[in-house]
Structure formats: C-alpha cells, structure tokens
Amino acid sequence: MPSQKEHIAVLGAGNMGSGIAQAFASAGYPVVVRDLTEKELARGRETIERNLNRSVERGRLRPEKRDQVLSAIEFTTELKVAAKNARLVIEAVFEEEKVKKTLFAELAPLVGEKTLVVTNTSSLSVSHLFEGFPLPERCAGLHFFFPASVNRLVEIIPGPNTSKATMESLLSISYSIKKIPIRVRDSPGFCINRFFVPFLNEATRLLEDKVADIPTIEAAANELLGTKMGPFELMNVTGIPIAYHSNSTLGKALGKYYHPSALLKEQFEKGEKWKIEGEANPAQKEAAKGHLAGVLLGIASRLVEEGVATAEETDRGARIGLAWRVGPFSLLNEMGTISGYEQVDKIHRHWGGAFPVSSRLAEVAISNEPWPLTTVRLEKDGPIAWILLDRPDALNALNSKVLLDLERAVKEAASDAGVHVLLLSSTSNNFAAGADIAEMVTKTPAESLAYTTLGHRVLSLIDTLEKPVIAVVDGYALGGGLELSLSADFILASEEANLGLPEVSLGIIPGFGGTQRLARRIGDSRAKLMILTGTHVRAPEACAMGLVARTYPAEKLKDEARELALTIASRAPVAVRLAKDAVDFGIEAPLPSGLALEKQLATYTFTTEDLREGMKAYLEKRKPEFKGR
C-alpha cells in the first residue's frame, strides 16, 4: 500500500471521477479528488456516499468500511494540492479535447518526477491528448467503464512514448484495485466501444429497415449475448445522446458504416426515449440475431487483425465490461466459423469497403476451424520462456482448457532448442487460485477421473522436463495452483503470496499430486498440517519451511526471477540437466544409490565439450561459450 504521500489524484468529480475515486479508496488507497468548484466536489462526494450507503443497505458492505472509504478521500479545488506527491494522476474531466489539453498544460509543471499521468478518455486519441506533455513515457490512457466503482474492466492504452515500466505499473495498479485490465492500441473506440457502439447503431438500422421491431431486436440481442437489457433499453438508460455522439465520433474516424443511422439521429433530435412495448416476433428474431452477430464478429475480427487488442482480451473485455455471456470470438466459435463468416459477409456485401472483412476471419472460415483462443501465453525472452496463465477474471482457476493450453505451451517451449529455462507464472498478480470449482462441481466420478488424469499428465510433463522450470508465484497459489507450482523445480514467490491446499474445506482432497509432492518437498508432518487444516501460509513462512525457495518484494519478483533464470541459462546445459536428474532421481533412492547415480552422471560430464570449455574459460579468465554438448 502506498504511503499517505503517494495518493491517487482524480481530476474531475463527475460520474466517472467519483466512481474511480471510490474504486481506489475501497482498495485502501488515499485519494484526492479535484474539481473546479465546491459545488461539483459536493456532488461527487454525494455520489460516492450514495453508492456506499446502498451497498451497506444491501448488506454487501460493513458501515465501518464505508466510513473508512469516505475518510480516505480528500476533496480540493486546488490542482496543486491534488498533483503534489501523487503516485498516479487520473484525468476524468469533460470529454472534450480542448478541456483536457488545457488541464494537462496546467498540470505539467505540478507533477513529480515519478508520477504517472493517465486520461480516462473513452473516445479521444491518447497520443493527441499528451502531445507536448513532459515525460510522455509516464503517460497513457486508463479507460474505466461505467459504473467505475463496480465495473471491473479497464482498458490501458499506451501512447507512442509510454514506457514498459509505466505499462507494468498501470497493470499492477489496476489489479490492486481488483480491476481486470486489457491492453489496447490507441485507435478510435479503443477495443470495446469499437464494436459496442456500432452494435447499438445497428439495432436502430434493423428497426429502420423493418427487419424487426424493437421487442424482437431486444429479445434477439438478449438471447445472443445473455444480457437482461437489449440495445434500446440500454440506450434509454444511458442516454440516447451518448449513443448518437459516440457513433458520430466513430463515424468521423472510421467512415460511413459507423455513422449514426438516420433513425438514431431523428430520435436524438426529438429527445425522446425508445418505446419498448409488445412481444418479440419469433419469425423475425433469427434474422435480427444473425445480423447483430455479423456486426460484432466483423468488427471484432478487424480490430484484432489491426493489432488493437488480442482476441482473448476482446472477449474478456466484453464479458467483464459489458457483462455479456460471451465475447465476439467465443460467439463465433459457438456459431461455427462458416456461419459466422456468412453473417459478416452479408453486411460486407451491403456496405462494401466501408465494412471490410478481416482476412484472418476468412482463413478460419475456409478451414472451418474455431478461432484460436488461449488461456496460457508463451513469451520467449532470449534463452528463457515465460509460460503465463492468462485467465485473470477467475484468478487463473485451472479448468480443462487451461490445462490443455498449458500442456501445449510447455511442449512448445520444451522443444525449442533456443529455450534453456522455463518460468511458470501468470499475466496478473495471482498465480492460480486452484482447480476450477465451477467446472468440478458437476463432474461425475468418471469425469473427475478424466480430469485428474489430465492434471497429472500436464503436471508430470512439467515435473519431468529436462529443462529447469521455475514457478514464479504472486498472490494466490491455492489447491491445484499450488500443486502446479510444486511441479516446477523450485518456487520463487512475492512476499505477499498466499499458498495453501484448501481442498478439505470443499469436501475433496488435493487431486493434482499435492499430497505427494508437498510431502516430499517439506516433509509429511508439515504437509499434513497444511493439507488437513486447509489453511494458507504466507510466502515468508512457506520459505522458512522450504516450500518456497526465495521471496522478493512483489514489484521485483519477475525481474529477479528473470535474472535467476538467465543465470541458469548461462551455465553448461548438459551439466544443469544432469545435476537436476541427480537431485530428482537420487532423492527418492537410498543414499548409496543416490551417490552411485551422482558418480555416474559426474563421470559422464567428462565426455562433454562443455566441460572442456568451462574449465578452459575459467583458466583463461573469460566467459565460457557452452554448446550444450
């Protein structure tokens, strides 16, 4: 937690600003909200109080926590006060370029050297907004979704000069306030609004073209996306002017397909809400569904092709930010890529070049393969490879898909001759909170056996790899998550990491090797203490009992792990492999057998070129160049 000096400054006490302030204060950050007048600040404070009181009334928040959150937020009209010693300044003022740029000009001389400055713009170019701002490497877009106090999605948009360190800090700050960030390129509508805004527009076109009436379009959208509110009701709630203006902005940037329909314009000018009455017409519903799907799939596949976001993050954004049952790519895979492509093509034939079809979509449709979506990322970094669990919204819970994706990534890294060390970690601030309880709950005994067999197969693959594997654990490593980390050669953890095998509290026992690997690592007595109580231990305690090899402050964990992996990767590969074998196989055997094994393996190293090179380099006082032979 930052010190009092390192508060979060929120500029603007409107709906977005107050929601953002509440989100940070709820996570324990000191916050300073700044607006131009006391009246605006009072309105912001009232909004926060109202939200918190509602949560207390619903029993979701303790009154003491409400008071704590409120007392963490300071209000001021002085920009200097807000900016001074801020860790992060978030601009959330009126959505107009001139207003924002004027504020940034005023802010520029006031921010400290380490302060990060972000804009919460939803529609303006981040690069333009920060043009001329000093230290542009510390600036970016951080787009919260309404209502910012509860909506967990944020888009992080780097500007042309945003540094890697700034991106990492913004990701970590976002996770620390329980948001799920997605990385998005600076482009019109960023990721989510790029398809969501035209989706609303298309609903009005369907009405205009008499494809379906309002209740039918509402029902079609709700069935397609598992929502409770269709596009017309949503426009009524959030405001038709917002829908109209966002479509106009996108239209200006992206061309005629994105312009507001004539009907949306008319409704906006009349200043009336949509009339949502009557029953859905089943005869029209399928056409409306297909058409809406076509818009989503067409735009989403284009934005991925343009490099605006990945397909996985696009889907995640739709699920979390819009509360849709599925994102566009999972929808495509459900429909079948050929059917999805046909819907996109229909719209393309009508609009021509104004609604281009992504060539990647055409490719997957021709092959009739699903759009590939993974929950595990593989990032190669010289001689090391990061295998990153990437399901942050479920704390990387290990379902069958994650296990299969993990197996694929491990095999790919293991078979790459250029990779010497594997690091097993996650894209977020949690390693993995266990096997997926939601998937396990409905399993029959036979299905559970298949699931355990899959888990054992993948963890044994990791456990028996010739190349060293290091588990890099931040946040939670529980149940199957801890079992996964135990399949690595050793665990490095952040000081805040939380490790445990809580299975007995769910009526099960560890099923991915935990009873065996944990007992072998820390001894049966300590293992039983952890397993039978199901309690968690913090990393320092885990380190003291030998479960974790070393701990680091969270912000240093990945860099330190990387350095350590690079050190191992710089050693003689055959010697590293044989040393690993000597420990792994020897530890299970009686000491004389272990020593005999060591003797054989040590003698074998004398047959390698690497041994000559290593010793020669030592005597010649130079760095060895190992060949792995």
Which CB atom, from 253 or from 326, has the smaller least distance to ligand DAK? 326
CA 257 – CA 189 distance, rounded (Å) = 14
Contacts of 309 (CB under 8 A, 6+ apart): 182, 183, 184, 185, 190, 191, 303, 317
168, 503, 541, 588: the catalytic one is 503
The reply on whether position 386 binds ligand DAK by CB under 6 A is: no
Among 244, 451, 552, 626, binds ligand DAK (CB under 6 A): 451
The reply on whether position 434 binds ligand DAK by CB under 6 A is: yes
Which CB atom, from 452 or from 605, has the smaller least distance to ligand DAK? 452
Among 1, 283, 417, 438, binds ligand DAK (CB under 6 A): 438
- Burial of residue 173 (number of CB atoms within 10 Å: 0-12, 13-18, 19+): buried
The interface with ligand DAK within residues 489-528 (CB under 6 A) comprises 502-503, 506, 508, 510-512
Eight-class DSSP state of 93: -
The reply on whether position 477 binds ligand DAK by CB under 6 A is: no
CA 551 – CA 357 distance, rounded (Å) = 49
Report the nearest approach of ligand DAK to the CB of residue 7 (Å).
Answer: 23
Which CB atom, from 70 or from 150, has the smaller least distance to ligand DAK? 150
Stretch in the footprint of ligand DAK (CB under 6 A) among 1-9, 71-79, 231-239, 430-438: 430-438
Which CB atom, from 155 or from 436, has the smaller least distance to ligand DAK? 436
- Overall size of the chain counted in residues: 629
User: Is 483 an annotated catalytic residue?
Assistant: yes
The interface with ligand DAK within residues 18-77 (CB under 6 A) comprises none
The two three-digit tokens of residue 573, written as one number: 């590969």
Stretch in the footprint of ligand DAK (CB under 6 A) among 1-9, 41-49, 389-397, 550-558: 389-397
The two three-digit tokens of residue 505, written as one number: 């509290």
Among 362, 437, 454, 617, binds ligand DAK (CB under 6 A): 437
CA 360 – CA 341 distance, rounded (Å) = 11
Report the nearest approach of ligand DAK to the CB of residue 443 (Å).
Answer: 7
SS (H, E, C) 399-423: CHHHHHHHHHHHHHHHCCCCCCEEE
Among 251, 455, 573, 624, binds ligand DAK (CB under 6 A): 455
Query: Before 147, cis peptide (omega within 30)?
Result: yes
155, 202, 218, 483: the catalytic one is 483
The reply on whether position 476 binds ligand DAK by CB under 6 A is: yes
Report the nearest approach of ligand DAK to the CB of residue 118 (Å).
Answer: 24
Stretch in the footprint of ligand DAK (CB under 6 A) among 258-266, 428-436, 518-526, 550-558: 428-436
Among 251, 479, 513, 573, binds ligand DAK (CB under 6 A): 479
Three-state DSSP state, 127: helix
Which CB atom, from 284 or from 485, has the smaller least distance to ligand DAK? 485
Among 218, 312, 436, 489, binds ligand DAK (CB under 6 A): 436
Report the nearest approach of ligand DAK to the CB of residue 511 (Å).
Answer: 2
C-alpha distances in Å from residue 532, one per residue of 434, 504, 514, 515: 17, 7, 12, 10
Strands 153-158 and 139-144: antiparallel
The two three-digit tokens of residue 318, written as one number: 């739709």
CA 460 – CA 462 distance, rounded (Å) = 5
C-alpha distances in Å from residue 539, one per residue of 88, 439, 487, 496: 28, 28, 17, 6
Which CB atom, from 79 or from 397, has the smaller least distance to ligand DAK? 397
CA 526 – CA 558 distance, rounded (Å) = 28
Report the nearest approach of ligand DAK to the CB of residue 532 (Å).
Answer: 15
The two three-digit tokens of residue 47, written as one number: 């909004």
User: Is 503 an annotated catalytic residue?
Assistant: yes
Which CB atom, from 38 or from 393, has the smaller least distance to ligand DAK? 393
CB 11 within 8 A of CB 93: yes
Stretch in the footprint of ligand DAK (CB under 6 A) among 155-163, 252-260, 476-484, 601-609: 476-484
CB 207 within 8 A of CB 214: yes
Q: Name 491's bridge partners.
A: 471
Other C-beta atoms lying within 10 Å of the C-beta of residue 279: 9
CB 308 within 8 A of CB 185: yes
The reply on whether position 552 binds ligand DAK by CB under 6 A is: no
CB 123 within 8 A of CB 129: no
Contacts of 477 (CB under 8 A, 6+ apart): 431, 432, 471, 484, 485, 491, 493, 497, 498, 499, 500
Which CB atom, from 141 or from 480, has the smaller least distance to ligand DAK? 480
The interface with ligand DAK within residues 392-411 (CB under 6 A) comprises 394-395, 397
The reply on whether position 478 binds ligand DAK by CB under 6 A is: yes
Among 19, 230, 298, 480, binds ligand DAK (CB under 6 A): 480
Among 156, 214, 422, 433, binds ligand DAK (CB under 6 A): 433
Q: How many helices (H) and strands (E) does the chain have?
A: 28, 17
How many residues sit in the footprint of ligand DAK (CB under 6 A)?
A: 24
Q: Which residues are catalytic?
A: 483, 503
Binding site for ligand DAK (CB under 6 A): 394-395, 397, 433-438, 448, 451-452, 455, 476, 478-480, 502-503, 506, 508, 510-512
